Amino acid sequence: MSAPDPGRAEVERVAVTDEAAVLLRELRGTHGPLMFHQSGGCCDGSSPMCYPEGEFRVGAADVHLGDLDIGAPETVPVWMSRSQFDLWSHTHLTIDVVEGRGSGFSVEAPTGRRFLVRSRLMSDEEAAGI
Amino acid sequence: MAVYAAPGQPESIVEYAPRYENWIGGEWVRPAKGRYFENPTPVTGQTFTEVAQSDADDVELALDAAWGAAPAWGRTTAAERSLVLNRIADRMEANLEKLSVAEAWENGKPVREALAADVPLAIDHFRYFAAVIRAQEGHSSEIDGDTIAYHFQEPLGVVGQIIPWNFPLLMATWKLAPALAAGNAVVLKPAEQTPASILVLMDLVSDLLPPGVLNVVNGFGAEAGKPLAANPRVRKVAFTGETTTGRLIMQYASENLIPVTLELGGKSPNVFFSDVAAADDSFYDKSLEGFAMFALNQGEVCTCPSRALIQDSVYDSFMARALDRLGTIKQGNPLDTETMVGAQASNDQLEKILSYIDIGKREGAEILTGGERVDLGGELSGGYYVAPTVFEGNNAMRIFQEEIFGPVVSVARFTDYDDAIKTANDTLYGLGAGVWSRDGNTAYRAGRDIQAGRVWVNNYHSYPAHAAFGGYKHSGIGRENHKMMLDHYQQTKNLLVSYSDQAQGLF
């Protein structure tokens, strides 16, 4: 499986806004434990896709970016394809939520809200920890 | 110049039902749970109709209808199916303006584009597949003097198709025309962002197809898309969208051992060699238009030329002219025939584009023009408008590597041919590309060296039915358009026939 390199584990790569955490707790009530896989490509690409944990099969082609604490008994793992990670690894991601209309098979779509990734560059200190 | 009346106003040529159900078995069918979702127009942000919010029960109902219709439809002659497709095309042509206004209102695209491209291309696509199915032939092979291998094409049966929101009618047509021509029955799920124009089309052509041959189930991906894509009663799934959902669909398909066609987008390079500027003539003007093509359909095109690579020696003069050219683009009410750039399709799309503009700035890319949301005032204030935006930076930046799906181009320089090809191919994707040169050898070599399924040479954003379209690398699997698409919706039946009376000599 694709745990990150040990050296990377020290640096937080992904976070969640309070508002997104509220929605995740709500969705957890319907779908059970959840996971994210960050998409790329067309249409709704570049959006974080939220699935019931295990619905999307991750493998050697994926990187585990971290786990979101949403105030539930378990955390929410966030994954990205390794090839995409090579291009995104210098940025820190925050999963936020906006009003929106659906996307792929992501479970929040019927709520009229949509998860969105906000990015910032890693600080020098963070980059040194990578 | 004309401004079409907005749907909902008495003089509008489009009248939407207040509510749409699912189109199943040749009739409108209420969703099993009786739920509907609001459908807003990106032109103003206001809801204009409600659409069925379906789930697995509705998908099963549609599959019942499709399997009920598939055997008889699959046995019709090519001539009969061809006639049906031609009639659909004729009906669409007779309603060109109505469909174009519906498409603009639904998606936010300029009606000028829908009138000139989306709907005429869809009409032609039906006619193209009406034609090629008549001309398709099986073939036979003479194995030896007494043994012949006959090859016949047979339909797959029932196929599932999941449609994106950027060209709702045209993308539905790309999938429907070959599937129906080949004799399949279809269950189609439009994008939840843009279901209504396809439903307007269903209303128009409902009498032309036998009941159950084409079924439309509306709803969200998680509730209606998954039960379709994962269904063991579907013989093939075709999807246009992004990589994570593409992988998920392949995962479901692997469980059912069925084929998929996936079109998953790109980050298409548009490469301008220095000789384009060798003369200030009509060719140079054409190449400047080619640069501006990133703004077509508000950049919501899988093949958006969102990376422009321009040779160093002419970079400054080319960019000065290109930015002048962008200044003449008219952004405004999508229902105004003068408008060239309209609204982004949804609020979350708008937010995503703005978040990319933000990360582009943080990574140090320079904004040469645009870079902000546009408020067009009045009723349009609630719509989702972004100014055509040009970033200058380098290919390692995220705005050069990710599909923003907005009117945003990232521009970089290259030194020579090898540098151009290296940068062009430094991407996860390989759907489209543009090459601009007056030198035939350079243009040909670059076209062959760029790893993409469609390379436009000295043109861009042209989509004729008779040219194959599809991706290399992470851009997907399979092709759309061209008669080869029939293969994606057919089985090959081999009849291996012996005309000898003699035992084979094995037992």
Structure confidence by residue, pLDDT tens digits, A80-116? 999 999 999 999 999 999 998 877 899 999 999 999 9
Average pLDDT, chain B: 97
**Residue B392 is inside which H or E element, if any?**
strand B389-392
The verdict on B116 and B154 lying in the same domain is yes
Residue A29 burial class via C-beta count within 10 angstroms: exposed 0-12, middle 13-18, buried 19 and up: exposed
The verdict on B111 and B227 lying in the same domain is yes
CA nearest to A61 within chain B: B247
Residue B472 burial class via C-beta count within 10 angstroms: exposed 0-12, middle 13-18, buried 19 and up: middle
- Probe site for chain A from B218, B244, B252 (most A CB atoms < 10 A): B244
pLDDT at B223: 97
Domains detected in chain A: 6-129 (2.60.300.12)
Q: Which residues of A touch B247 (CB under 8 A)?
A: 56
Phi and psi angles of residue B283, each rounded to the nearest 5 degrees, phi first: -65, -40
- Determine the distance in angstroms separating the CA of B49 from the nearest CA of chain A, rounded to an integer: 14
Q: Which of B50, B106, B263, B480 is catalytic?
A: B263
Is A103 close to B264, i.e. CB distance below 8 A? no
Once rounded to an integer, what is the mean pLDDT over residues B282-296? 98
Residue B276 tokens read as 């384009």
Structure confidence by residue, pLDDT tens digits, B389-437? 999 999 999 999 999 999 999 999 999 999 999 999 999 999 999 999 9
Once rounded to an integer, what is the mean pLDDT over residues A41-47? 80
Once rounded to an integer, what is the mean pLDDT over residues B292-296? 98
pLDDT at A2: 44
- Determine the distance in angstroms separating the CA of B477 from the nearest CA of chain A, rounded to an integer: 14
The CATH number of residue B52's host domain is: 3.40.605.10
pLDDT at A45: 75
Average pLDDT, chain A: 90
Is B221 close to A106, i.e. CB distance below 8 A? yes
Residues of the domain holding B411: 269-457
The verdict on B279 and B425 lying in the same domain is yes
Q: Count interface pairs A-B at CB distance under 8 A.
A: 160
pLDDT at A43: 77
Which residue, among B156, B196, B158, B197, has the nearest Cα to B60 in the 3D structure?
A: B158
Q: Let me know if B263 is a catalytic residue.
A: yes
Which residue, among B400, B346, B264, has the nearest Cα to A81 in the 3D structure?
A: B264
The verdict on B259 and B344 lying in the same domain is no
Residue B156 has pLDDT above 80, yes or no: yes
The verdict on B195 and B133 lying in the same domain is yes
Is B174 a domain residue?
yes
Phi and psi angles of residue A81, each rounded to the nearest 5 degrees, phi first: -65, 145
**Distance in angstroms (rounded) separating the CA atoms of residues A22 and A24:** 5
The verdict on B70 and B190 lying in the same domain is yes
Residue B79 tokens read as 């001539």
Q: Which of A84, A101, A119 sits opposite B193 (nearest CB)?
A: A101
pLDDT at A3: 46
Structure confidence by residue, pLDDT tens digits, B187-242? 999 999 999 999 999 999 999 999 999 999 999 999 999 999 999 999 999 999 99
Is residue B255 very low, low, confident or very high in pLDDT (cuts 50, 70, 90)? very high
User: A2 vs B443, which has greater pLDDT?
Assistant: B443
The verdict on B389 and B429 lying in the same domain is yes
Q: Which of A51, A84, A120 sits opposite B428 (nearest CB)?
A: A84
**Distance in angstroms (rounded) separating the CA atoms of residues B1 and B230:** 48
Is B405 close to A88, i.e. CB distance below 8 A? no
Question: Is the CB of residue A58 less than 8 Å away from at least one CB of chain B?
Answer: no
Question: Is the CB of residue A43 less than 8 Å away from at least one CB of chain B?
Answer: yes
CA nearest to B403 within chain A: A41
pLDDT at B320: 98
Residue B239 tokens read as 């999807």
